[in-house]
Structure 1
């Protein structure tokens, strides 16, 4: 089984998500990133977090976000979003997502999202199953820095990006 480690999708910046300057509103960047990740998890790994919550009472909840806004995303612009799992343990995931213009020549934003596996029935942290741990081991795509600001600086200097 050869699973993609970096997931990618395209979308358009919509009017209702923009500020009066026709830029994507800062609060909406996270929505675009999360929508991308949810769709790509289903498409690439057959993981539907909402179905999982409904049937098993387990899913992931956000535990942290670090975001850098580098260039504005503009009204009706087509953007590309990439995401990858950069680390995991028995109950945590860390995902990096990057937003680019359509030809990926300009990085617009970077986010690191932390997620905790959570049991909705007991309202407590949940341990990942062996099956999930195997999947995460197969798709993890770590980056060579552990500090967000260093990663942003690295991404802004393309020749140094892994």
Structure 2
């Protein structure tokens, strides 16, 4: 079953890399971990009522937003520079969902800057839950690009 356009059999080599390793793939684990952890620390605050968890959510939201911007800039450069990536519907879908995720992450962080505890219920929980959902969708689309379309892989003939 093919979800998008036919895969490119040889793969699409990344153009934004460090010593042959794709930069976008190296950066995305940070915002994923931070933004998912915001929801977990919000739940911990809700359960324990300890201000530590509200401060943790504030720092995780900020770390997720800022590291997400870094990963997003690299991903956007990749999308705009590499023609074979631009022609994939999954790439554009991934881009749109990632921009939505960054918007939610920035709003979540901004909401918490004034009073981290007061921001959690209900809006902070809603935004962090939405962030987890968007992380899942963006990750699924990113996985589609890597595993189905072989985007950002090292071609066998280029390994030498």
Q: TM-score, normalised by structure 2?
A: 0.26
Higher strand share: 1
Q: TM-score, normalised by structure 1?
A: 0.26
